[in-house]
Amino acid sequence: MTIMTERLLQTGVLVMECGEPETLDDIEPYLTAHYHGHSPSPEDIAFMRERCQRVWSGDSGSSAARRVVAALVEELAQRYGSRFQVVLGARHWHPTVADALAHLVRLGIRDVIVLPLSPVVSHMGLRSYRDTLNQAQATLEQSIHLHFIESWPDLPGYLSAMTTNAVIALDRLAGNERHNVALLAIAHSVAESARKPETDYQWRLRQTMQRLVATLRCAGGYLAYYSAEGPGRRLGPDVLAALEEIARAGFQQVLAVPINTVYDNVEVCYELDVRMAERARALGLTYARSAIPNAAPALIADLATLIADRAAVFGSPVASC
């Protein structure tokens, strides 16, 4: 088999993330990219700088998304050899989605599976992903076929990793005494409109929360949102308002579980480890939070299967090595 023939048989995999800075020097250019070329205010820079330093406990962090991709690359290679070429592309940082797709085009790849690192994608998120992909495609020297995986909320490996982490955190928090533990599932807020309400996004998140409450046998379950600031009407309640509601309801312990979050990032870790932890302490609540799946083997294995199954739909069956 020639090199060109082998490349024509290869399938690209674009793993999409939002992206985030990894050093304090990255913050201003990151925010500029996030604001579509507009310069951030000094207040915005200071705001993000403080959050990054609190989460990193220093002046730099590392990309958990890259570790997820590295694990996925290894899993796919072990199963399928060189069939898949995996790249990471960020909507608001680098490597950009355009750069990632251009790399696959240079390899001669014409079919690309797009995997957002979000099990459930809102209407707003889906539109943003597609806009980013369309803009990136317009810059390519060669057309490619994109095969978009819109959502994967019921992926067994994802549910297993999330549930396992929640069980570990709950055991440390309360042991077998769970009669006074409230489970607080948190997810990223999004803007919604009367024309396109985010009912499906909310329903899927609530379903995940209810599944966790039943599995863990917690006394109560709540769903709340973080990053609810911004223009327009956004999904709520905010995570801090939910903690206050839990305290008013008479619960003494609360377990926070980030759902719809695959990898550690500054935004969600600040909510869990700073903002929510401090408010819970002020309310007299005993607080714990579960770990995020990141590169959990069960998650990576099932993402690899998801990718291979999608490749089999538009191409030849994917054979294991």
Per-residue pLDDT tens, the chain, 321 aa: give them. Answer: 444 444 447 999 999 999 999 999 999 999 999 998 999 999 999 999 999 999 999 999 999 999 999 999 999 999 999 999 999 999 999 999 999 999 999 999 999 999 999 999 999 899 999 999 999 999 999 999 999 999 999 999 999 999 999 999 999 998 878 889 999 999 999 988 767 789 999 999 999 999 999 999 999 999 999 997 766 789 999 999 999 999 999 999 999 999 999 999 999 999 999 999 999 999 999 999 999 999 999 999 999 999 999 999 877 567 776
Place of tokens 């072990």: 78
Task: List the one residue out of 146, 62, 63, 142 whose CA is nearest residue 103.
Answer: 142
Q: Is residue 113 helix, strand or coil?
A: strand
Before 237, cis peptide (omega within 30)?
yes
Place of tokens 């592309």: 89
Q: Where are the domains of the chain?
A: 3-20+63-151+297-314, 156-289
- Contact call for residues 299 and 292 (beta carbons, < 8 A): no
Distances from the Cα of 3 to the Cα of 106, 224, 302, 314, angstroms: 13, 51, 29, 22
- Contact call for residues 72 and 108 (beta carbons, < 8 A): no
Overall CATH class of domain 3-20+63-151+297-314: alpha beta
Distances from the Cα of 263 to the Cα of 11, 19, 97, 169, 230, angstroms: 24, 11, 18, 17, 23
Phi, psi angle pair for 29, to nearest 5°: -65, -30
- Close Cβ partners of 57 (under 8 Å, ≥ 6 residues apart): none
- Contact call for residues 110 and 314 (beta carbons, < 8 A): no
**Helix and strand totals (H; E) in the chain:** 12, 8
Judge if 3-20+63-151+297-314 and 156-289 fold alike in CATH terms.
yes
Q: Which DSSP state fits 290?
A: P
Sequence-ordered strand ranges (E) for 69-139: 84-90, 111-116
pLDDT for position 269: 98
Task: List the one residue out of 71, 17, 64 whose CA is nearest residue 299.
Answer: 71
| Burial (CB count within 10 angstroms: exposed 0-12, middle 13-18, buried 19+), residue 317 | exposed
Q: What is the DSSP string of 209-264?
A: HHHHHHHHT-SEEEEEEE---SSS-B---BHHHHHHHHHHTT--EEEEEE-S--S-
**How far apart (Å, rounded) are the C-alpha atoms in residues 253 and 235?**
25
pLDDT for position 5: 43
What separation, in Å, do the N-terminal and C-terminal C-alpha atoms of the chain show?
Answer: 16
**How far apart (Å, rounded) are the C-alpha atoms in residues 209 and 194?**
25
pLDDT for position 4: 42
pLDDT for position 179: 84
Look at the domain 156-289 and name its fold.
Rossmann fold (3.40.50)
